[in-house]
Each structure stands twice: as structure tokens, then as C-alpha cells.
């Protein structure tokens, strides 16, 4: 933002008693003429103050005035954004957003399709905001939600700390949102998720029921609720099966290796790198619960490198029914999430929250936690070792 040139015309400094109104007038002109486009973030307070040679207090007052006029929206801790004007003749435009880090991931895309189908049935259009694994883009997508034209958002919560901060800020600003699949420590918000603990219990229980006494779990750190729930379910199934788990049975995926694998389109890399030395040191048969389908793929790849057979030497249960689970050999036994049900429940809940926010009925309300059941789908990746099969 360049300094306004001195050309003899009126400047903010010419009206000491009305500095903020003069700053507002200049910003208003830029908004109305499109110099500051709809959805754009205004420069920092200090930058505006330096341009017009005024105090930051005067700039705050100017932004507050433009906020009252409906030209900008100020989000505490984030900044001020130019509002999107309502389309002519469409003051009640019905649009929601879906925010995700990577829609090339099978589960993320399945949720997006569930949300899209639910929106179509309820008469909403849906804006898909896919960050394509770009951390900065995901941050921008979330911070611009209030001015995106969407009246609320279904959000697959992020993993990177910068994006987590952005999500907290938008939530605290009161923008209607519903989280799907997982939530983050310290964030209290509406949530629609699968019964992750039941899923982890079903996966480990299936291996135990087929005679496995060495049952590993290859997983990410439990920094979101979905992973923590699956780990708890896995541990509970072992206890109920009379098995004392070895701490080494929890195989942790290195985040840097995992991220590199996604960037290189080798989504199996993190899990494969983590579990290969563990499997190499164990005597078959071994059962493995993999935290998702890509982690399960990594177990298959580790077995290939070690000349271990699935399922004769290593039985595998993954999560999420996708083309991968069918295409890999042998086809994978998985815990399936009901993504259409998740999408429908999220849109129904978000629609209610949007209405409440318009009527200012959300003050003091409690948040909803909707849990969707899971399904264990048996295929050919688990051997019954109790009979020597």
C-alpha cells in the first residue's frame, strides 16, 4: 500500500478532529471502486497509519466505522476483510463451504462427496476449498471464510500448527462451522465423527478372534481425536483378549517422512519406513492394525520388501473403504466410515447453526457431538492362524 501523494488535495491530516472519518473515506473509496477487492484483507494497522500519517487508534476507529457500514468485517486477532456484497436480487444466497487439506486423499474426497450430496438435497450450493497440501493456502482458505460468501463451513481440521491457530481464530470470531472426523485439543466445537474407538476395537478384535497374539498398530501420534480414539479401542481389545501389549507394538509414523511421502506421491512411505524394521525382528504370524488405508498400504510394501506374505505371515486391517482397499493384493479388510452419513449429519447441523447465528441464538449454547457407526468389511488380508490356515 503506497503513501498517498501530496498534491494539494484534502488529506487525513487536514482535519485533526475527524482523522478517522477521513481515513475511512479514503478506504471506502478504494473498496467501492474495487481497488480493495471483495474478500481482500486490509493492510496492517501500522501500514495504514503510516500511509495517512495518523495514529493506529484513528485507523481502528476508521475500520470500526466501515464495519458498522457493512463494508468490512473485523475478526479479532486476524484482521479486517472487505465484505462480499450480496448478489443483486439474491440477499439470501445459500452457500456453505467445505475446507480440507488434501482432496486427493481418498477419505477427504469421500467426505467432500457426502457433504456435496447433502447440500444438493437441502438446496445449498457448496464451495470446495482444497489446499492441495499447501500449508499457507490452507491458512488463507480458513482466514477468508467469513468473506468467502459462504454462510458456514464444514471443516476437516488441519494438522499444521499455523493452520490450527487460524481455525481457532475463525471459531472464536463466531463464524458457523462444524468439524468432521476429528477435533483438536482445546477446541470445543460442533463435531460429527465416526465411532473411532469402536473402529480401533473392531480392527484389533478381528485379528485376535482369528488367533493372533502379536497385534501391532502402526499409527501417527494421537494429536487429534480420531487417532486417539482408535488407539484406545485397539488397547481395549487387547486387554479384553487377555493380551499384554508390548510397548514396541505401537509403531509411530515419523511426521517428516509421512509428509515427504505425500509430496512424492508415495503415500505409503511413512508407515512402510516405520514398520519394516519392526516386522523384520518378529516371528510370524503377526497382525497389524493400520491407522488408515495408506498406512495399511505401507505395511503391504514393507512385507514385499521383507519377502513376507499377506496374510499368511502378516495379517492387515486398515481403515477407510476406498479403491485402494479393493485394488491392492490381496484385497484389504478394513473398518469403513459411513462418509455419506457423516456429510449429511454435518450439513444438517451446520444449517441449524447458520439459522441460529442469524437470529443470535447461539450465545450460551452447548456444542453438539454426533457419533456415526462404523462397519468392519472382511476381505482377504487376514488369516485365521488359530487353525493354522
Residue 98 makes CB contacts below 8 A (sequence gap 6+) with 111, 112, 115, 116, 126, 127, 128, 129, 153, 154, 155
Q: Are residues 332 and 200 in the same domain?
A: yes
Q: Are residues 333 and 200 in the same domain?
A: yes
Q: Are residues 218 and 229 in the same domain?
A: yes
Q: Are residues 222 and 128 in the same domain?
A: no
Q: What is the pLDDT of residue 13?
A: 39
241 φψ region: left (φ > 0), alpha (ψ -120 to 50), beta (else)? alpha
Q: Are residues 69 and 141 in the same domain?
A: no
Q: What is the pLDDT of residue 377?
A: 97
d(CA 240, CA 368): 31
Structurally, how many domains does the chain consist of? 3
In a domain, 204, yes or no: yes
In a domain, 123, yes or no: yes
First vs last Cα of the chain: how many Å apart? Answer: 72
In a domain, 383, yes or no: no
Helical spans, DSSP H, in 307-338: 323-327
Residue 118: which CATH number?
3.40.50.2300
Q: What is the pLDDT of residue 106?
A: 84
Bridge partner residues of 245 (DSSP) = none
Q: Is the pLDDT of residue 178 over 80?
A: yes
In a domain, 107, yes or no: yes
pLDDT (mean) for 205-221: 97
In a domain, 380, yes or no: no
13/379: higher pLDDT: 379
pLDDT (mean) for 274-278: 98
In a domain, 378, yes or no: no
Q: Are residues 110 and 70 in the same domain?
A: no
Q: Are residues 188 and 212 in the same domain?
A: no
Quickly state the pLDDT bin for 343 (edges 50, 70, 90): very high
Q: Are residues 139 and 100 in the same domain?
A: yes
Q: What is the pLDDT of residue 68?
A: 73
Domain with 355, as residue range(s), is 95-194+340-373
φ and ψ at residue 41, rounded to 5 degrees: -85, 135
Residue 247 makes CB contacts below 8 A (sequence gap 6+) with none
d(CA 92, CA 221): 43
d(CA 289, CA 315): 9
Question: In the predicted model, what is the mean pLDDT of the chain?
Answer: 86
pLDDT (mean) for 144-164: 84
d(CA 14, CA 256): 56
Residue 256 makes CB contacts below 8 A (sequence gap 6+) with none
Q: What is the pLDDT of residue 283?
A: 95
282-286, 319-323, 341-345, 373-377: segment of lowest average pLDDT: 319-323
Instruction: Look at the chain and count its residues.
Output: 389
30-34, 98-102, 196-200: segment of lowest average pLDDT: 30-34
Residue 49: which CATH number?
1.10.10.10
Helical spans, DSSP H, in 69-224: 106-122, 135-143, 161-172, 196-209
Q: What is the pLDDT of residue 227?
A: 95
Residue 54 makes CB contacts below 8 A (sequence gap 6+) with 12, 13, 19, 20, 23
Q: Are residues 218 and 176 in the same domain?
A: no
Quickly state the pLDDT bin for 3 (edges 50, 70, 90): very low
138/268: higher pLDDT: 268
4-8, 91-95, 177-181, 378-382: segment of lowest average pLDDT: 4-8
Q: What is the pLDDT of residue 245?
A: 82
pLDDT (mean) for 266-279: 97
Q: Are residues 190 and 221 in the same domain?
A: no
Q: What is the pLDDT of residue 18?
A: 65
Q: Are residues 40 and 153 in the same domain?
A: no
Is-contact 221 188, C-beta < 8 A? no
Q: Is the pLDDT of residue 64 over 70?
A: yes
Q: What is the pLDDT of residue 388?
A: 55
216-220, 250-254, 263-267: segment of lowest average pLDDT: 263-267
pLDDT (mean) for 90-101: 77
Q: What is the pLDDT of residue 360?
A: 58
d(CA 154, CA 180): 7
Q: Are residues 208 and 333 in the same domain?
A: yes
Quickly state the pLDDT bin for 41 (edges 50, 70, 90): confident
d(CA 222, CA 229): 8
C-alpha cell at 63: 475500520
111-115, 240-244, 363-367: segment of lowest average pLDDT: 363-367
39 φψ region: left (φ > 0), alpha (ψ -120 to 50), beta (else)? left
- Burial of 370 from C-beta contacts in 10 A (0-12 / 13-18 / 19+): middle
In a domain, 47, yes or no: yes
Q: What percent of the chain has pLDDT over 90?
A: 50
Quickly state the pLDDT bin for 169 (edges 50, 70, 90): confident
Q: What is the pLDDT of residue 358?
A: 67
In a domain, 89, yes or no: no
Q: Is the pLDDT of residue 326 over 60?
A: yes
Amino acid at each position: 500500500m503506497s503513501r498517498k501523494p501530496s498534491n494539494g488535495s484534502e488529506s487525513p491530516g487536514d482535519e485533526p478532529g475527524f482523522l478517522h472519518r477521513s481515513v475511512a473515506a479514503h478506504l471506502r473509496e478504494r473498496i467501492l471502486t474495487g481497488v480493495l477487492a471483495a474478500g481482500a484483507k486490509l493492510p496492517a494497522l501500522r501500514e495504514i497509519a503510516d500511509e495517512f500519517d495518523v495514529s493506529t487508534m484513528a485507523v481502528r476507529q476508521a475500520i470500526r466505522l466501515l464495519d458498522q457500514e457493512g463494508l468490512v468485517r473485523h475478526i479479532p486477532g486476524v484482521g479486517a476483510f472487505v465484505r462480499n456484497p450480496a448478489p443483486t436480487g439474491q440477499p439470501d444466497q445459500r452457500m456453505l463451504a467445505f475446507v480440507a487439506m488434501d482432496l486427493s486423499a481418498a477419505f477427504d474426497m469421500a467426505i467432500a462427496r457426502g457433504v456435496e450430496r447433502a447440500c444438493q438435497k437441502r438446496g445449498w450450493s457448496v464451495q470446495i476449498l482444497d489446499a492441495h497440501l499447501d500449508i499457507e493456502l490452507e491458512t488463507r482458505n480458513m482466514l477468508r471464510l467469513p468473506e468467502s460468501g459462504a454462510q458456514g463451513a464444514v471443516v476437516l481440521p488441519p494438522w499444521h500448527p499455523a493452520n490450527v491457530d487460524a481455525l481457532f481464530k475463525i471459531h472464536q470470531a463466531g463464524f458457523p462451522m462444524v468439524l468432521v472426523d476429528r477435533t483438536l485439543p482445546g477446541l470445543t466445537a460442533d463435531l460429527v465423527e465416526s465411532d473411532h474407538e469402536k473402529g480401533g476395537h473392531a480392527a484389533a478384535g478381528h485379528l485376535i478372534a482369528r488367533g493372533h497374539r502379536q497385534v501391532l498398530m502402526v499409527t501417527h501420534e494421537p494429536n487429534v481425536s480420531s487417532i486417539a480414539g482408535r488407539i484406545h479401542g485397539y488397547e481395549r481389545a487387547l486387554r479384553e483378549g487377555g493380551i499384554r501389549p508390548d510397548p514396541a507394538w505401537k509403531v509411530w509414523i515419523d511426521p517428516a517422512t509421512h509428509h515427504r511421502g505425500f509430496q512424492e506421491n508415495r503415500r505409503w512411505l511413512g508407515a512402510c519406513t516405520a514398520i519394516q524394521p519392526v516386522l523384520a525382528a518378529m516371528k510370524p504370524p503377526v497382525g497389524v492394525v493400520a491407522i488408515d488405508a495408506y498406512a495399511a498400504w505401507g505395511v503391504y510394501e514393507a512385507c514385499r520388501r521383507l519377502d513376507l506374505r499377506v496374510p499368511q505371515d502378516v495379517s492387515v486391517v486398515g481403515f477407510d473403504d476406498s479403491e485402494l482397499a479393493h485394488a491392492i493384493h490381496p484385497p484389504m479388510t478394513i473398518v469403513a466410515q459411513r462418509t455419506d452419513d457423516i456429510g449429511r449429519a454435518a450439513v444438517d447441523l451446520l444449517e441449524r447453526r447458520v439459522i441460529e447465528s442469524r437470529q443470535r441464538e447461539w450465545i450460551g449454547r452447548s456444542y453438539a457431538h454426533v457419533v456415526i457407526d462404523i462397519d468392519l468389511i472382511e476381505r482377504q488380508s487376514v488369516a485365521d492362524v488359530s487353525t493354522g490356515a
